[in-house]
A and B are shown apart, each in its own frame.
Chain A
């Protein structure tokens, strides 16, 4: 007697193909992503953990870390506050030039960091009208802290606004309207209705911009002038050490920033999980 097999269309990949593809994926990620990372850590500790710690404690290193932290501590909150204001305005009014604002927000992501630095030199450098005027009044922007800050603000500008825009786009508008009709002011509406909706997205985008602010290299390199122990941020200090052939020290400094990358990644995963759980509850 013939066996009748139940009909099932073949939409699964053959097992051998599946294994091959998985092996390929693991190999690609290992070679392209994991190996460089491992190489930094191995080189940083190549002279032993005590040397590693001494290198991290050097005064130039500490100045660089402090400067980077200072820049991030100013740039990130500024971008978050103005980003929330902008997105709140964009989602609560009907404005015609939305596309234009979106393009404006996308620009800092798509412009080469070097060009960003150059833009600020063209505006505020010694030879520019505005920069010259400021210099006459004793304010140095380029090759000083304000220039570093402006470059950092520019490159981290879109993170919060871009993340929040789709989140604040009116899924909970009815609740807001109800609150308004009941007499709640905008601040209470924001705190009680909007903020709980956007909190994970906000946290996530703040972490992303923090990481970018601390790790930005190109834009900051152009406006910094690389004065060691003064205008060298942590990434610039890595470059300075690298150029001096102090490879162990450069890699040790790099592990600090690499750690930042790992933290960002972890927070991203956690934030996404939380977001998923929150949306499942709704």
Chain B
């Protein structure tokens, strides 16, 4: 790298830009921290220690985990197909993978509701085999599956595209079956990317609100996710309770952000 610009301008623009980011991001977070610092610790614990809260956390984290797992299982073959095969319509499929990223969450919410609802195309199909999806935890899972689909595909696909062919060839020359090569050569190479995509999908699922609320049914202790519980506490002016839940959610985001950063650094190596 060449020597940095020694004039004042970059320092000035950095200062302005940083001030802006801090004003928008850090100041509101500080407000939450200060507000919660004035509340006795006992009250915070109390507001978190109820059956309703614990089942909301179980639901949010459990279903996100499940959806991220499903997205990893679906994402790996999708990434493989898009990276390795050529077939008519490949570009279209490739573009459609990004749809959940660009579709606003409220649209996804009512779209899934229409599709899996009692009169929807898939809703009636599932009803015939006695499964109700809309307004149950299964509906939440479907929504998280939708919003998380692109993450694994998009992290794994470039790795498959850039993978060193010679390793696979060596394996094949030495008499390994295709399946053996996949298990012992390809899969280990993809593991960091798979983990990164998995964590991203998980993080997204935990915080997701718009696409879930419409289809969830939102019954306390059954199908009420944490973000919804925060909203309902805010609506009943329970600021301490909502703040406590948000603190836990923020903490979880920090941990996942850290984890994803670590994984990405390992991927870059």
Mark A residues whose CB is within 8 Å of B.
9-11, 13-14, 18, 21-22, 24-26, 28-29, 31-37, 39-40, 43, 82-83, 85-90, 92-95, 101, 103-108, 110-116, 118-123, 125, 127-128, 130, 150, 153-154, 157, 161, 170, 173-174, 177, 180, 186, 208, 211, 214-218, 221-222, 235-236, 238-239, 242, 247, 250-251, 254, 257-258, 260-262, 264-265, 268-269
Contacts and interface: CB of A to CB of B under 8 A. Distances in A.
A173 B4 CA distance: 9
Interface in B229-244: 230-231, 234, 239, 242-243
Interface string B99-116: 110111111111111110
Interface stretch (B40-48, B51-59, B78-86): B78-86
A114 B114 CA distance: 24
Interface residues of B, number: 94
Given A10-B172, A88-B10, A114-B230, A238 B106 contact: yes
A136 to B, nearest CB: 18
A252 to B, nearest CB: 11
Contacts, number: 285
A265 B102 contact: yes
B231 A254 contact: no
Contacts of A107: 25, 253, 257
Nearest to A263: B102
**Most A-side CB within 10 Å, residue of B82, B98, B110, B169:** B110
B138 interface: no
Contacts of B139: none
B209 to A, nearest CB: 4
A101 B227 contact: no
A128 B18 contact: no
B27 interface: yes
B198 interface: no
Given A118-B243, A218-B210, A128 B31 contact: yes
B209 A104 contact: no
Given A26-B93, A215-B107, A93 B11 contact: yes
Given A25-B77, A86-B14, A123-B31, A37 B99 contact: yes
26 contacts: A11-B165, A13-B178, A21-B80, A21-B85, A33-B146, A37-B99, A86-B14, A101-B18, A103-B261, A111-B249, A113-B209, A113-B227, A118-B242, A122-B239, A123-B27, A154-B25, A173-B2, A217-B109, A217-B209, A217-B210, A222-B231, A257-B103, A260-B104, A261-B103, A261-B104, A265-B99
A112 B249 contact: yes
Interface of B: 1-2, 4-5, 7, 9-18, 20-22, 24-29, 31-32, 35, 74, 77-78, 80-82, 84-85, 87, 89, 93, 95-100, 102-115, 120-122, 145-146, 149, 165, 168-169, 172-173, 178, 181, 203, 206-210, 214, 226-228, 230-231, 234, 239, 242-243, 246, 249-250, 253, 256-257, 261
